Amino acid sequence: MELIFLGTGAGTPSKERNVSSLVLNLLSERNSFWMFDCGEGTQHQILHSSIRMGRLEKIFITHLHGDHIFGLPGLLSSRSMGGSQDPLTLYGPPGIKAFVETTLSLSGSYLTYPLEIIEIQPGKVMDDQHFCVTALPLVHGIESFGYRIEEADRPGTLDASRLLAEGVPAGPVFQRLKAGEQIQLDDGRVINGQDYLGPAQKGRVLAIFGDTAPGENSLVLAKDADVMVHEATLEASMAEQANNRGHSTTQQTAELAKTAGAKRLIITHFSARYGTEESLRLLAECQAIFPSTEMASDLAVFAL
């Protein structure tokens, strides 16, 4: 599992940063990619990454501001022109369906794959045996959501050496035992896989935020997260300006990570006023409060 940042700027692109988009690489977990936001130029950024659009399974939109959605029509069309027939599910606030259907219709575009559009409400938006995704509203000028992605606990490690020592032959039977099944050997012995598994491995938790000023739901989304991805649009001294526009400062973001008990903070969505050198000051302001802070840059990859 890894996070691939395609755009880390706020509002408008700059020479160093494109507008918002990031991808969660789940090739090892479910042979797919999940995208969060799709600002203008996102498909161009994909060309410089390891992401395969045919394996794009889900897109989660945080809110309908242009720097988070204007890349969607082009990306959806290019995925179709690439010949993909695999289904794609798009999640987003009310209005996302009208936006996508209108732009595709007026441009005469068509899709070669099934596209399901789900307009989300606060609460659980997706839950299967591997992942649960919850969305909660944030504090912004328009309806904006943050997403909490919770991975299911994974089975503990199978004690293969003990099984071999007890005369259980290696092979496909080990996979069944790792799944916790009970099997009968040729000699009549019944082996319960649960007896040979170590402690379950806790699933990972990610909190991925849309644009937001400080608010109560932010703490719920980030509680004990392994990784928290949050905007740090402006420096600490500009709190009033940031909050009035529905954004957070470095200090507010770092304090949230600390209070929530997050293990790791990745900051993104930086104002175009900050160049590469100036951005380091934003990172330092966060690290002074929450040392486990890292700064995202376009095309940066973070292993989780």
Does the annotation list 65 as a binding residue? yes
Q: Which run of H or of E encompasses 235? A: none
From 37, 67, 186, 195, the catalytic residue: 67
Concatenate the DSSP letters of all residues of 21-54 into one string.
Answer: EEEEEEHHHHSEEEEE---TTHHHHHTTSS--GG
Does the annotation list 68 as a binding residue? yes
Q: Which run of H or of E encompasses 123? A: strand 123-127
Enter the tokens of residue 199: 């402690």
Q: Give CA angle at 299 (130, 92), nearest 5°.
A: 50
Does the annotation list 130 as a binding residue? no
Does the annotation list 269 as a binding residue? yes
Helices in 212-249 by DSSP H: which ranges?
Answer: 216-222, 239-244
Place of tokens 């001294």: 237
Does the annotation list 48 as a binding residue? no
Does the annotation list 195 as a binding residue? no
Residues 6+ away with beta carbon under 8 Å from 20: 7, 8, 9, 10, 37, 39, 67, 68, 268, 269
Is 67 one of the annotated active-site residues of the chain? yes
Q: Cα(194)–Cα(69) distance, rounded to whole angstroms? A: 47
Which residues participate in the annotated binding site?
63, 65, 67-68, 140, 211, 269
Which residues participate in the annotated binding site for Zn(2+)?
63, 65, 67-68, 140, 211, 269
Catalytic center residues:
67
